[in-house]
Amino acid sequence: MPSLGRLHLITDTRPGRDPLTVVRAALTAARTDLVVQVRVEDSATDREAYDLARRVLALCDPYGATCLVNDRLHVALAVGAAGGHVGADDLPVAAARRVLGPAGVLGATARAPGAATEAVAAGASYLGVGPCHTTSTKSGLPDPIGPTGVRAVVDAVDVPVIAIGGVTAERVPALRAAGAYGVAVVGALSAAADPARATAQLIEALTC
Ligand SMILES: Cc1ncc(COP(=O)(O)OP(=O)(O)O)c(N)n1
Ligand SMILES: Cc1nc(C(=O)O)sc1CCOP(=O)(O)O
Ligand SMILES: [Mg+2]
């Protein structure tokens, strides 16, 4: 399995957003350190997800960046993405592992140590852990777990932990100190005036 990038950019496909422009900018700054997770609205069709994933993968390939697909593993397989990410409403981790095969990158959402160890035992190759901070990007989330909650998961597993939820470059040092391997962001890049510069700042915080 290739080593995992530390900065995960999750596509923002809400109305008025321009995910491909953000992906292009982020790639110029993060290159192989970038993982792009293609995430579409629940209301999007599989065809829309497939078309976006195909375009994102074509952008990632020349940079050696990794493309993953959120939720829809058949789309990941169809486009030849490196893998996918699942959470509580998606395929169970063991089933997702069977779909992707042994070599696929499989992320799983885990908010506490017990769920984290179960996900790793079932085949997760990394964990998305959060929400670390409040976020307006996704509704219905539990209360933020903060760096302390991240540390609890890090101490329970031996796979990379990717901190998610309200992550900004300023918040990265505390998350890294808690043992996070990397971070996943939507708004920090999607809403940035200069996404390439914002990417560089996140990479600097993740690698210094
Ligand atoms: C890196 C990362 N961590 C967590 C999530 C959330 O996944 P999930 O709980 O399945 O929620 P949706 O993103 O599907 O709404 C993620 N996508 N990526
Ligand atoms: C899609 C998603 N999942 C989360 C979780 O905690 O499971 S937080 C989140 C949204 C992250 O967006 P932003 O970087 O703008 O806060
Ligand atoms: Mg999901």
* Closest C-alpha residue for ligand 1 atom 11: 87
- Sequence-distant (≥ 6) Cβ neighbours of residue 101 within 8 angstroms: none
For the chain, domain boundaries: 7-207
Q: What is the DSSP letter of 160?
A: -
Of the options 3.20.20.70, 3.40.50.620, 1.10.443.10, 1.10.1050.10, the CATH number for the domain spanning 7-207: 3.20.20.70
pLDDT digits (tens, 9 = 90+) for 56-96: 999 999 999 999 999 999 999 999 999 999 999 999 999 99
C-alpha–C-alpha distance, residues 39 and 104, integer Å: 17
pLDDT (0 to 100) of residue 156? 98
CA of 37, nearest ligand number: 1
The per-residue pLDDT for 3 is: 86
71 is in an annotated binding site: yes
With b meaning 16 or more CB within 10 Å and e meaning fewer, what string describes 10-49? bbbbeeeeebeebbebbbebbbebbbbbbbbeeeeeeeeb
Alpha carbon 182 to its chain's center: 9
Share of the chain above pLDDT 90, in %: 98
Beta strand ranges found along the chain (DSSP E): 7-10, 34-38, 66-70, 83-86, 105-109, 126-129, 161-164, 182-185
**CB-CB contact of 52 with 11 (8 Å):** yes
CA of 205 from ligand 1 middle (Å) equals: 22
Flag whether 166 is marked binding: yes
**In a structure prediction context, what are the per-residue pLDDT tens digits for the chain, which is 208 residues long?**
458 999 999 999 999 999 999 999 999 999 999 999 999 999 999 999 999 999 999 999 999 999 999 999 999 999 999 999 999 999 999 999 999 999 999 999 999 999 999 999 999 999 999 999 999 999 999 999 999 999 999 999 999 999 999 999 999 999 999 999 999 999 999 999 999 999 999 999 999 8
- Strand, helix or coil at 11? coil
Going from the Cα of 63 to the center of ligand 1, the distance in angstroms, rounded, reads 24
Give CA separation, 86 vs 32, 78, 124, in Å.
23, 17, 9
- DSSP 3-state of 175: helix
